[in-house]
Amino acid sequence: MLAHWFLSAVMFTAAIAIGVIVITSKMNMISKVLVIAALVFSSLFTYRALNDVYGYPIVLQKNFDDALVLSHMLNKEKKVIHMWIKSPDEENPRSYTIPYEEKLASFLERMRHKHKGKPYRAKIETQSNPMSPLKQSIKRVNMGELIIFPSKL
């Protein structure tokens, strides 16, 4: 976690330094505004992208048409659900966090009981706002069991 803080501080300091250089330069005003805006947006999106690099769970912000839900953990005190999901197009499973919702928590518990703790396939739809802070970017998560019928002979 200290490395994350250090990297954030370095990015912030670099953005301030570049901003000061741009503001004190002899560029025209429109160019200055464009460079500062690009710097601010790139810093924000780079910071958000860093969460994908670390081994910590990331906030679920994508949809899965066919995901293998390996496990989940409910944390009512911190109002978060941790899920371990494997997508068909990825080699390894990933850990995601979702804001705690009673409806989603009861669905996950029913699925765990139904499948006796074993992985199951699900369709996951998220509605998110990429411009909001990372932990508050999810508006809603809808999940449903994906039923796979055996092929006919």
pLDDT digits 0-9 by tens, 41-53 = 777 777 666 666 6
Kindly report, residue by residue over 72-118, the tens digit of the pLDDT: 899 888 888 888 988 888 888 888 888 888 888 888 898 899 889 88
Q: Exposure pattern of 7-43 as b/e (b: 16+ CB <10 Å)?
A: eeeebeeebeeeeeebeeeeeeeeebeebeeebeeeb
Q: What is the reported pLDDT for 1?
A: 47
Q: What is the reported pLDDT for 120?
A: 86
Instruction: Map out the domains of the chain as residue ranges.
Output: 2-53, 58-145
Q: What is the reported pLDDT for 64?
A: 82
* Alpha helices in 1-143, H assignment, sequence order: 2-24, 29-53, 102-114
This prediction's pTM: 0.58
Which of 2.40.400, 2.115.10, 2.40.360, 2.40.50 would CATH assign to domain 58-145?
A: 2.40.50
